[in-house]
Amino acid sequence: MATGIRDKVAILGMGCSKFGERWDKEADDLMVEAFEEAIADARIEKNQIEAAWLATAIEEQHVGKSGVPLAVALRLPYIPVTRVENYCASGTEAFRGAVYAVASGAADIALALGVEKLKDTGYGGLPQRGRGALNSMYWPNLSAPGSFAQLAAAYRAKHSKKPEDLKRAMAHISVKSHANGNKNAKAHLTNKITMENVLDAPLIAEPLGLYDCCGVSDGSACAIVTTPEIAKSLGKTDLITVKALQLSVSNGTEASHNSWDGSYFATTRIASKRAYKEAGIERPREEIDLIEVHDCFSVTELVTMEDLFVSPEGGAIKDVLDGFYDAEGQIPCQIDGGLKCFGHPIGASGMRMIYEIYLQMQGRAGPRQRQKVPRYGLTHNLGGFPHQNVCSISVIGRHGE
């Protein structure tokens, strides 16, 4: 019987580039920027890395389809390099590959890196691309803001919420994230905003306004992982280990018939239940200390709080407005600024979330450091649209706890 990966893999080091409009840098430069911080943090030599995973989504725009660009950019020592792509969960998918390699005994030390140069595409948002069932049947008539606006409408109708209450909660989420991003020099957007800014902003797709939407960005993030035993032998103490990694992928049910009402993410509910079981978490609202979620839109963050079983169903608006998820609240969400302030370079976002949890657990998050050092942190990525998507969940914690 499968036993999961709890405490079988430790994070040896992590790094993250500055996110933003990095016009003066190539994808290779961003990879090197994140890697140099990670390997310095890990305190190892490059030739000790035995396998690597590269995550990037819109590969035609910068790195290409293989793992070669990572090996070349970092001058890796002729080791296996695997390129992965799974929509917006790509970064966490690379992390999962490296973690599973170590947990299985296939590698002692493994590298995961995510990168994306989206500003170079010339698109204001994420480009539609490719063929196949999903693109041909569904995506030509969709936009991301329009699709997630439908999520907001379905949530509002199901739970009989007043439009103004949902708008205020969404605005609070955006204001909160910008206040957090203001303390993070690596974020793309570091400006504070007000409730009035959000509520008075132009509509993109009702009820989503300008400040309810995350932007497009360039960035890279990196992790080096090993076993707890090897980490200790290398002089690492106070280990941060992986408690759970779960991935759930839509099978078409949500898009096929009305058993799904459009008000929640089925994949998030399934993946989070699996992750909690793997991590040994029974009461997420009480045991999770820090959350980074896929806040592509403010309503996505709100709905995700219920799909993670942190807020009760229909209760996220109250929790948000009560400050439950604020930086000084019970469970801060997006304490680094989230996608809202970092933007969303697809291949890097999942790894960037883990990077923040890792820093917070080591007390190294600077001006945004949580006073209560987290015991468990959770990251969540969502790729695709509400009716058909992939969801990845990671749970990170202190070794042995």
Q: Annotated catalytic sites, by residue?
A: 88, 344
- 55 contacts 112 by C-beta, under 8 angstroms: yes
Q: Which residues contact 287 (CB under 8 A, 6 or more apart)?
A: 281, 375, 376
Beta pairing partners, 395: 244, 378
Q: What is the DSSP letter of 140?
A: G
Q: What is the DSSP letter of 295?
A: -
Place of tokens 């759930």: 248
The tokens describing 137, both together, are 């049947």
The tokens describing 299, both together, are 């309503």
- 379 closest CA partner among 401, 359, 400, 399: 359
For 157, other C-beta atoms within 10 Å of its C-beta total 12
- 391 contacts 293 by C-beta, under 8 angstroms: no
Tell me phi and psi for residue 374, to 5 degrees: -65, 145
Q: Which residues contact 246 (CB under 8 A, 6 or more apart)?
A: 271, 272, 274, 275, 278, 392, 393, 394
